[in-house]
Amino acid sequence: MKKITGVLFILHLLVGTGGMAGGFACLIDPHSPLGAPVEMLQNSPFSSFLIPGILLFSVIGIGNFISAAVLTQSKKWSGYTSSISGWALVIWIIVQCYMIQSIVFLHVLFFCIGSIQAVLAFLLLWDTKQFPASWIQKFTGTSPKN
């Protein structure tokens, strides 16, 4: 489990740094962050990158740093916080691609990273026999190997 926790920790730091940097760029220049034209948002409910920037900075950025901190402090909650962060990233990427009606390499990369976070978080839950993994273990008669 130490390897899983270590990989998750690194992924949380990577995603958290990217989320805060991208979100901050949207906050300081909501009409053209990092050169992205505001016209990208024509199929979205937003007229600038301000609200998406706030969400990116807080949910994806700060959320992943919180998940990294929890990984070092609480075995009880680390699977849950890591799962929330992974699924939040996956949902963020899907919604973003839908709104801007475009998919680029970074979308695919961060979708995969979010999926990996979610799978690794599930493995933490499996190892600690926490919900929902505990239900699967109960119904299948399986348990983690110690």
**pLDDT values of the chain reduced to their tens digit, one per residue, 146 residues:** 799 999 999 999 999 999 999 999 999 999 999 999 999 999 999 999 999 999 999 999 999 999 999 999 988 899 999 999 999 999 999 999 999 999 999 999 999 999 999 999 999 998 888 777 777 777 777 765 55
- Does this model's pTM top 0.85? My answer is yes
| Phi–psi pair at 54, nearest 5 degrees | -65, -45
The angle formed by the CA atoms of residues 34, 38 and 44, to the nearest 5 degrees, is: 120
